[in-house]
Structure formats: C-alpha cells, structure tokens
C-alpha cells in the first residue's frame, strides 16, 4: 500500500499533538537532569570548600593541642607491639628448643649447614 502525500500529511497532523507533547516531556526531563547534575556539582564543591575552610582547621588545631599525648600513645603502642612480638618469638624458640629434632634443625640453620 502506497500512501499519498495528502494521507501522509493527514497522519502527521493527527500525530502532531502527541509528538509535541512527547518532545516537551523529553525536554523537561533533560532540563531536570541537567539541573540536578549541575546543582549536585555546585553543592559538592561548596561542601568541600566549607569543610576545608571550617572543619579541617579545627581538627588540625585539636591535633596540635593533643600532639604530645598522641605521641605518647604512639610510643606506648609501639612498645607494646615489640613486647608482644618478643614474647611470641620467645615462646616459638622455646617450643622449638624443647624438641630435639627441631633443636637439631635450628642449630643446623644457625650454623648454615642446611637441613
């Protein structure tokens, strides 16, 4: 079936309101998406700037005021880690030395004799 120019124009005239409505809805949706994207970017930048200007200096001030205490906590933690490591190594060596077979292997390794 071949459509005449007049039939095509009639169909287009009938569809025109629906096509315009769909185009308008799509345009509104695109504008809303663009606005949301732009607003999100602007808000993120504003929050980042405010955090850098208002929050970070307060945190740095508090850290500076607490510096000595934080250093002491760090030193104490390091000492506890070393102490725990030493105890674990001592226990492992003691266990190894209690077994004559393991003791023999340990001495061979210490003397570089291999296994």
Q: Using alpha carbons, select from 103, 79, 108 the residue that is nearest to residue 93.
A: 103
Given this model, what pLDDT does residue 58 score?
A: 95
Res. 114 pLDDT band, cuts 50 70 90: low
Give the contacts of 42 (CB within 8 A, at least 6 positions apart). Answer: none
Q: How far apart are the first and last CA of the chain?
A: 94
What mean pLDDT, rounded, does the chain reach? 88
Res. 111 pLDDT band, cuts 50 70 90: confident
Domain ranges of the chain: 1-65, 72-115
**Residue 37 near residue 29 (C-beta atoms within 8 A):** no
**pLDDT tens for each residue of 28-84:** 999 999 999 999 999 999 999 999 999 999 999 999 999 999 999 999 999 999 999
Is pLDDT larger for residue 52 or for residue 93?
Answer: 52
Given this model, what pLDDT does residue 3 score?
A: 84
Q: How much is the pTM?
A: 0.45
Side-chain half-sphere of 53: how many Cα atoms within 13 Å?
6
């Amino acid at each position: 079936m071949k459509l005449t120019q007049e039939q095509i124009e009639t169909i287009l005239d009938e569809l025109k309101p629906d096509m315009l409505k769909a185009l308008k809805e799509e345009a509104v949706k695109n504008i809303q998406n663009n606005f949301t994207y732009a607003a999100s970017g602007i808000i993120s930048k504003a929050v980042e700037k405010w955090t850098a200007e208002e929050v970070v200096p307060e945190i740095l001030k508090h850290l500076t005021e607490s510096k000595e205490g934080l250093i002491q906590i760090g030193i104490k933690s390091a000492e506890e880690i070393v102490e725990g490591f030493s105890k674990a190594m001592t226990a492992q060596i003691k266990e190894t030395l209690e077994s004559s077979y393991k003791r023999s292997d340990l001495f061979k390794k210490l003397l570089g004799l291999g296994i």
